[in-house]
Amino acid sequence: MQLFRLIKSAFSTGDYYIAMNESLRKIDGNYTMLHYPLDGEDMSTFSQAQKNLTDYCILKLPELSDKEVLEIGCGNGVQSMYIYEKYAPGFFTGVDLNHGNIMIANELTGDIPGNNIKFIVDDAQNLSTVKDNSVDIVINIESAFHYPDKSAFIREVHRVLKPGGHFLIADILTKSEKKKGPLSHWKRRMQFNHWPLFKYVENINLIGLNLLLSEDITHSIIEGYKKYRNWISDLKEAQFIKRFILRIFFRTNVILNVRLLKNRHNYHIFHGMKS
C-alpha cells in the first residue's frame, strides 16, 4: 500500500504532498518543512538543512519582530511555526491551497503558546482572505513554481503589502522557455509552471514592486543535497521492506532534483519592497 502511494505521488501534486508529508515524517518521527536543503555549517539532519534555507531567506529581510507577516504557500506549517518561534513577528498568517497541508498546520499549532499564528486555505493568485495594504512582510518559499498565473500572484503580493512592506520569494526557475516536449503532459499534471529569470524581473518591475535583490543559490542547494545519506541512516520505520522503499523514494527524489538543478533549473531568491 505504501509503495502504491509513493508511485501515485509522481503523477499528482496532491498525492505528492501527501506522500512527502508521510515519508519525511519517517526520518525522525516529526513533520518537516517541505522545501530543499541549503548547505551550511550545521548539516546534521535534514530538518536542520531545511532550516538553513529558511534562515538564509529570512535574514535577507528587515527584522520581523512585531511585524504582520504572511507566508503564501505555507505547506504543512512547519516552516511558519519555525519562523514564528525564532523571529517573533507580531502576527503570522500562513495560507496554502492544499487542504491537507492546512489540516496538518492547524493540528500542530496547538504546540505553540499564544494565538498570534493562524493557517487558512487560500489561493496565492487571489488572496480572498487578505485585505489590501495589511501586511508588513510577505514570504513565499518554494511554492510559486506551482502557480499557473504568477503575474496574478505578484499583483496580489503588491496589493496586500503595506507601503514600505517587503517580500521574499524563493523559487525554482527554468533556464529555457520551451513550452512543449515529452514531459509537458506530466508537468501539467504536477502543476509545474517555471518562469525564466527575465520574466520574473520584468513582472516584478511592471507590477510596481521595487526589486532589491536577485540571487542565484543553486550551487548551495546542490551541495546541501549531497549530505542526504546521513539523514536517512536511521529511519523511524521498523520493517525492512518499508525502510527499503523509503530509501529508494528519497534517493530517487534527490537524484532527480539535483539533475534538474544542474541541467534545467536554477534556484533563485528575490527580495524587494512596495514603494
pLDDT (tens digit, 9 = 90+) per residue, 10-55?
Answer: 444 555 556 665 666 656 667 788 889 999 999 888 889 999 999 9
pLDDT along the chain (275 residues), means of 10: 44 56 64 87 88 97 97 95 95 94 88 80 98 98 95 98 98 79 47 89 97 98 85 61 74 88 96 96
Sole residue written with cell 551541495: 223
Out of 3.40.50.150, 3.60.21.10, 3.20.20.150, 3.40.50.2300, the CATH code matching 2-274 is 3.40.50.150
What are the residue boundaries of the structural domains of the chain, listed by start? 2-274
162 CB burial (10 A radius; 0-12, 13-18, 19+): middle
